[in-house]
Amino acid sequence: MQSCACHSPSFLAAKVGPNCRNCPILAPDVWAGAPAELVERFLSARDAIHVPRGGVLFREGEAVDALYLLVSGAVVLYRDQTAGRRLAVHLVVPGRSVGFRAMAEGRNHRATARCARDSVLCRIPSVLAEQTFAAHRPLERVFLRDLTQELGLMRERLMQVISLGVRDRLVLLLDRMVQAFGMPKGDGWLIDNPLKRLDMASLAGMAPETISRCIRHLQEEDLAHFNRKNILLPSREAFSLEVDAITQRE
């Protein structure tokens, strides 16, 4: 009879390092009912890695050799464009995975994954991931959840381009960034911004030349103030009311 890791948070805790405490695949409920041998093999083969700002996890067109869970930092997915330009298509925030879409589709990576700030990630070799998914489906569901969210955000952005103006789309992007990178400051929020302005423009579905005008409008309204590293939202209440009004117009 196989030994079982079910209801054994102490078993998991003994096998992870300090950088892994917030990794979603290490939650005890993910492994409930899994054979201890499977958990042991998985935990031994994965690796916590530190990637500096600007570091690349994989490039568009490369074969899938690993999956990643973002523990801290930020990762942006880019698609290559003509004339050497790149277009930001998705922002990965802590607690979410990177690379599963290509594996699920059975094809090479559709995008380049670049760290927008110093990041800690859990790297899982793709062969190990496939073997573990086959033996323990609850782990695969963690990645399926993230894939569903990624596709949902992209579909949502397309609908926003159709139905909302550029200013409102930028406000909704700021709302997502508050949830991942915001901290209270006085009556408002301070966002530790990992994104370049060109990336913010892409993720808000606007042309690069448009974002400066949108930023200026938000600053004139005292809704948001931008500098190179941070974004200050002076009033949580005013910002929340603005987001609610925009979502009602969608």
Q: Please check whether residues 101 and 59 belong to one and the same domain.
A: yes
Q: Tell me how far apart the alpha carbons of residues 176 and 59 are, in angstroms, rounded to a whole number.
A: 25
pLDDT tens for each residue of 9-48: 455 555 556 566 667 777 777 888 888 888 888 888 888 8
Residue 3 located in a structural domain? no
Same domain, 79 and 171: no
Q: 22 lies in a domain?
A: yes
Per-residue pLDDT, 19: 60
For range 159-173, the mean pLDDT: 87
**Given a cut of 50, is residue 3 above it in pLDDT?**
no
Is the domain of 115 the same as that of 133?
yes
138 and 35 share one domain: yes
Q: What is the chain's alpha carbon radius of gyration, rounded to the nearest angstrom?
A: 20
Are the beta carbons of 97 and 58 closer than 8 angstroms?
no
* Domain boundary pick from 116, 142, 159: 159
Report the number of distinct structural domains present in the chain. Answer: 2
pTM score? 0.84
If asked whether residues 110 and 201 sit together in one domain, one would say no
Q: Is residue 23 part of a domain?
A: yes
Give yes or no: residues 226 and 124 share one domain: no
Residue 176: inside a domain:
yes
User: What range does the domain containing 235 cover?
Assistant: 164-249
CATH code, domain with 82 = 2.60.120.10
CATH of residue 212's domain is 1.10.10.10
The answer to the question of residue 232 being in a domain is yes
Within a domain: 193: yes
Q: Choose one of 101, 128, 159: the last residue of a domain.
A: 159
- Out of 91, 124, 159, a domain closes at 159
- The string of pLDDT tens digits covering residues 84-141 is 678 999 999 998 999 999 999 999 999 999 999 999 998 999 999 999 999 988 888 8
